[in-house]
Copies of this chain bind each other. A is one copy, B any other.
């Protein structure tokens, strides 16, 4: 049985302010919850149907995690999904501390105000696929623990470290102390398919409508563009979706290694 207070607490975690004060977030479904349980993310409580706990995965759940058997009607009361899927988990938000120097020899994605939860989730999944371990988000980027983002990552949220930082401060540190390349996708940059690319540095992806913000542009020392191959010279497509651009840029960096 779910208490009224518990229902209120769980639904409250759909709001960023409550996630930040409690340091908890919610994940849902038979695909992502088992992945989180097996990952380094700390899962505190599970709310699942009997069917879920009877699944083969049931025996793998560590005793440290509190299991709550609930009905489908109860699950509906705490779920943010239109069609709840067997189980909901309350997890602890990891307390990652960013150390810029440690990123010196790695490729890192930097997101400058990505606002769409689906885009952020998809970008985290792309990072996971391409072995990019860290993503730095501007403070205005949508919260990674927003339920829509968590679902869109399809479990990749457990394998990629995400930091929220003031990007200007981070870029100045990366440039002055560590001297590493900061790539950014802009309108008139060098053709990424013809440019030499390093195996380390930041790759900055701009906001869906406005691109990279004006105050960060002067700090991008490697400006790149994805050329269009459109057959319509006039009246052609203006831009690629932010997640699509991320995928193409990451492909180009990783494929050449």
Contact = CB atoms under 8 A, between A and B. Distances in A.
A126 B241 CA distance: 9
Interface of A: 35, 38-39, 118, 122, 125-126, 128-131, 133, 154-156, 159, 193, 226, 228-232, 235-238, 240-241, 243-244, 247-248, 251-252, 254-255, 257
Binding site secondary structure of chain A: loop
A235 B35 contact: yes
Contacts of A235: 35, 38-39, 159
23 contacts: A35-B235, A38-B235, A39-B235, A125-B240, A128-B232, A128-B236, A129-B228, A129-B229, A129-B237, A130-B228, A130-B229, A130-B230, A131-B228, A133-B231, A154-B237, A156-B237, A159-B235, A193-B255, A229-B254, A243-B243, A248-B248, A248-B251, A251-B251
A240 B126 contact: yes
Contacts of A122: 241, 244
A255 B251 CA distance: 12
Contacts of A133: 231
Contacts of A243: 241, 243-244
Among A35, A38, A228, A230, which residue has the most Cβ atoms of chain B within 10 A? A230
A232 B159 contact: yes
A159 B230 CA distance: 10
10 nearest CB pairs, A to B = A131-B229, A128-B237, A131-B231, A244-B247, A193-B255, A229-B254, A130-B229, A129-B237, A248-B251, A131-B230
Given A118-B118, A128-B232, 12 more contacts: A35-B235, A125-B237, A125-B240, A125-B241, A129-B237, A159-B232, A159-B236, A159-B237, A241-B243, A243-B244, A244-B247, A251-B252
Nearest to A246: B244
A252 B252 CA distance: 9
A42 to B, nearest CB: 16
